[in-house]
A = this chain, B = another copy of it.
């Protein structure tokens, strides 16, 4: 029988010594014996590429591990773990690793969502593996189940809470009634939000993850710029109140789905109302969860911490050990090259439900007029709730009408809203939000 001591160790080079990189270094060194036993060979952390080898870090290894010399890091590396983030120089370094015959593990969603196809193809050509479980949902095993466990099924739709910062902020606003600015400040104080929260709050981070999820679910190449993106900064107090009154919570969801007519996929990130009893509605604080609908499996959900050094490092280490085990067994690795060429459709083709709140004259016949406009554009109304308007005055008595529609195309809704605004009984469309879940 072959034992671990007979087998040459595998050299692991780490690019980046930040929050996640430090934790990967910790696990590789502290758990070395358990990993050797589990894998059948030793994982040998060789060097860590950092900008400043002298800086202090969360988890400190002896100084000889740290270097800013790229050649030194790549020397003899069997697996390169890229955790530096950003596009440059990450892209160039990942390509260099692939071309030298090393397998790559990365958690870099921005890189994958912009240059993923170039990297997948380079890896397939070089016969090395490129794994990136940590790029979506932190510690949550989601990419491997999508690729492997559901490979005999047809995924129709994925809805994910894939950004912990915005989920924390929305949860705070929902549960404590905090304003957006107060909730953001609290998230920053707790380290859930960065000093510049634009990428999280504006939805770009979730959009990158949507592109990666769509790639794995639909086996086609997608990029960040194909994702329709709305962030959470524009959500008003009225939006929150209307949602809560109707029994919904607001979540920032990344939604990717395959449509039949016209054929293609829609990729979108936007604030979404979910019924309180939906499994995603119960995802609190900075947690992440990915809800998957498949033709045969039905509804699945994967839940866990979406960020954090140790949690994300767990996903990285899962990829590293899987690659190591495959290297030991021999045989070629898996590839991620696209096998289909699905079209990415305009947001106008997306079908969803909507909540629309309008300020209208408080008079008889108003509901009939508004409902008539919806009907004209084939947007069917599921429910309506009228509440007094606090801005109503003697001059003009007004009320707030909150409509929830059945499913309709975005393009149809846009026309409906246009026509509704023209009605003389309607003062203003105050809120338009998308609604998902049953």
Contacts and interface: CB of A to CB of B under 8 A. Distances in A.
A294 interface: yes
Given A151-B321, A318-B153, A305 B310 contact: no
Number of copies: 2
A282 interface: yes
A27 B296 contact: yes
Contacts of A279: 282, 303
Contact of A152 (B35, B37, B140, B151): B35
A139 interface: yes
Contact of A299 (B35, B39, B305, B321): B305
Interface in A316-338: 316-322, 325-326, 329-332, 334
A200 interface: no
B322 A298 contact: no
B152 A141 contact: no
Contacts of A315: 149, 297
Interface string A82-123: 000000000000000000000000000000000000000000
Nearest to A137: B300
B296 A317 contact: yes
Interface of A: 23, 27, 31, 34-35, 37-39, 133, 139-141, 144-145, 148-154, 219, 279, 282, 294-305, 308, 310-311, 313-322, 325-326, 329-332, 334, 339-340
23 contacts: A27-B153, A27-B296, A31-B154, A34-B154, A139-B298, A141-B141, A141-B148, A141-B149, A144-B145, A144-B148, A148-B322, A151-B321, A151-B325, A152-B318, A152-B319, A152-B320, A295-B310, A297-B304, A299-B304, A301-B301, A301-B303, A301-B304, A331-B332
